[in-house]
Amino acid sequence: MNPLAHWWPVALSHELRNTPLACQVHGTPLVLFRADDGRPAALPDRCPHRFAPLSAGKVRDGQIECPYHGWRFAADGRCTRVPGTNLAPCSKPLLDSLPSCEAHGLVWVSLGAERPLAPPVAPAEHRQKLDTFWITDQVQCSLQDAAENFLDGFHTHFVHAGWIRHDKQRQKINTRVRPLADGVEAVYSEEGKQSGLISRLFEGERGASMGRFRLPGLAEIEYRDRRDGLNLLVSAWLTPCGDGQLRLFARIATAQGWLPAALKRSVLRQLFRVILRQDRQILEQVSANQRRFQASPATPLDGPQDLLGPSIRRLLEQGQPIAFEERQLEIWL
């Protein structure tokens, strides 16, 4: 996949206030800040003068001030002030600003010089009123491994034993795997209530559920009730930062109901923290093991129950939608 052709989320909107924020996307260290008009700006995190990290500086009047000698840079990369001189700052940008925007509660940047044609990838739409909150994390693993892990039901009996499902209490489920305009989706039907704790606490009778991956890095899990109302939608945007690290921005949305949002949030947040810790542990073990076997790399061996993993791999390799026939499968989840 060509990362230059896409928008990548780099921060939660509400994290970016009046101080600079450092981030890294595909190995490029950036500084984020808000310009005068409140819009996000992204510049390389390196002052051109003596290479100090601009993210250690300050935001002044919508411009970033270097912590070393105080040179100031506007959102477009122009230097507007060189303290101690009265030389007119040059009109040509000294830093290459990156296209940035704000959408769906996130700040996005693009590494290409041009703004990508497609807008940032949005969460699934719902007509219901939703309670939402965010969880962010950083994991040492690849985008592909994280996306597959997030959407794969068959590890839950082991990695999250008792939290999501039990190995000894499986149910027969019909699945349909189909291509999407920008990804792939598995639809699970005839799924009764799960045996794990999360399901017992937060779900009524389950209708259908979906797991989907959309380019360049959105993984979503959606649980619907029997009347097609939403129980839970988890949208996880994944951004490779560099050095094998991956940033995760997960939005957890539940239908508004009788439970106060703050209570639901605090219980769900703690549960998701546990699940995330368990996933992080196995994902980091997997990437450490891949490094141990660097000298003899291997292609992963897909099983029949790997519903989405192989498609995710092809989508990420090719960087564009892939054509395949919709297929149905019976599984024991």
- The encoded tokens of residue 254 equal 């539940």
Quote the distance between the C-alpha of residue 212 and its chain's center: 13
Largest CA distance in the chain: 76
Tell me the number of residues near Fe ion by CB under 5 A. Answer: 1
Q: Is 47 left (phi over 0), alpha (psi -120 to 50) or beta?
A: beta
| 101 Cβ contact partners less than 8 Å away, ≥ 6 residues apart | 7, 40, 107, 108, 115, 120
Q: Looking at the DSSP assignment, which residues form a beta bridge with residue 58?
A: 65
Nearer to Fe ion, 148 or 279 (CB): 279
| 248 Cβ contact partners less than 8 Å away, ≥ 6 residues apart | 135, 136, 137, 138, 139, 146, 236, 237, 238, 276
Binding residues among 127-146 for ligand FES as defined by CB under 6 A: none
Residue 124: HSE in the Cβ half-sphere, 13 Å Cα cutoff: 26
Binding residues among 48-107 for ligand FES as defined by CB under 6 A: 49-50, 52, 66, 68-71
Find where tokens 């819009």 sit. Answer: 39
**Element housing 253 (H / E):** strand 245-255
- For residue 207, the partner it binds in ligand FES, Fe ion, none, with Cβ less than 5 to 8 A by kind, is none
Residue 189: HSE in the Cβ half-sphere, 13 Å Cα cutoff: 9
Q: How far is the CB of 90 from ligand FES (least distance, A)?
A: 15
Question: Which residue in the shown chain puts its C-beta closest to Fe ion?
Answer: 279
Q: How far is the CB of 119 from Fe ion (least distance, A)?
A: 29
Binding residues among 269-288 for Fe ion as defined by CB under 5 A: 279
Nearer to ligand FES, 23 or 54 (CB): 54
- For residue 279, the partner it binds in Fe ion, ligand FES, none, with Cβ less than 5 to 8 A by kind, is Fe ion
| 13 Cβ contact partners less than 8 Å away, ≥ 6 residues apart | 102, 105, 106, 107
- The encoded tokens of residue 65 equal 């001030």
- For residue 49, the partner it binds in Fe ion, ligand FES, none, with Cβ less than 5 to 8 A by kind, is ligand FES
Nearer to ligand FES, 66 or 233 (CB): 66
Nearer to ligand FES, 30 or 276 (CB): 30
Nearer to Fe ion, 95 or 275 (CB): 275
Tell me the number of residues near ligand FES by CB under 6 A. Answer: 9
| Contact between 47 and ligand FES per CB under 6 A | yes
**String of DSSP letters for 266-312:** HHHHHHHHHHHHHHHHHHHHHHHHHHHTTTS-------TT-SSHHHH
Nearer to ligand FES, 73 or 223 (CB): 73
- For residue 220, the partner it binds in ligand FES, Fe ion, none, with Cβ less than 5 to 8 A by kind, is none
Peptide bond into 321 cis (omega under 30): no
Binding residues among 243-302 for ligand FES as defined by CB under 6 A: none
Q: How far apart are CA 7 and CA 103, in angstroms?
A: 11
- For residue 52, the partner it binds in ligand FES, Fe ion, none, with Cβ less than 5 to 8 A by kind, is ligand FES
Q: How far is the CB of 159 from Fe ion (least distance, A)?
A: 5
| Contact between 148 and Fe ion per CB under 5 A | no
- For residue 170, the partner it binds in ligand FES, Fe ion, none, with Cβ less than 5 to 8 A by kind, is none
- Which of 43-51, 199-207, 208-216, 226-234 is the region at the interface with ligand FES (rule: CB under 6 A)? 43-51
Q: Which residues bind ligand FES (CB under 6 A)?
A: 47, 49-50, 52, 66, 68-71
- Where on the chain is the footprint of Fe ion (CB under 5 A)? 279
